[in-house]
Amino acid sequence: MGDIRMSVFPKIEHNGARVADVTEDIREFVRQQQLVDDDQEVATNLASLLQQAAGSSVREIDNLMAELDKLREKLQRDGARVQQDLLEYATFTQSTLQSTKVISESLRSRFPIHPK
């Protein structure tokens, strides 16, 4: 390692300790820079992943809301139909009762019941 320092820093060879310190500082700086770059890449990847997940979730929620809107509209239509059917049934029942009463009175007048 001493030969490399001598060739890289030929004018500072008389202060070998200082050359070693500078070399170590450079190495440490490079290591830290790689860690920072790795952290930034991880953060960028994580942000991208979160955006994709959030985008998927938002789309899914939008789809569910649209589906629920359709179901609500169907329930409202079905409710209106059932209400109309009940009204028609009540009208029919009332008409049937009136017809039965008329028929019953007509039969009573034509064929009176005599107690024995």
- CB of 16 closer than 8 Å to CB of 5: yes
Identify the pLDDT of residue 114.
72
Tell me which of 33 and 2 has the higher pLDDT. Answer: 33
Q: How far apart are CA 27 and CA 33, in angstroms?
A: 10
Over residues 3-31, the pLDDT tens digits come to: 444 444 444 444 455 656 667 777 777 67
Q: Which sign does the torsion angle of CA 104, 110, 115, 116 carry?
A: negative
Structural domain includes residue 48 = yes
Domain limits for position 59: 2-84
Structural domain includes residue 46 = yes
Identify the pLDDT of residue 112.
79
In the chain, how many domains are there? 1
C-alpha angle with apex 71: 70 to 75, nearest 5 degrees? Answer: 120
Structural domain includes residue 21 = yes
Over residues 26-81, the pLDDT tens digits come to: 777 767 667 666 667 767 777 777 777 777 788 889 999 999 999 999 999 999 99
Q: Whole-model pTM?
A: 0.46
- CB of 1 closer than 8 Å to CB of 9: no
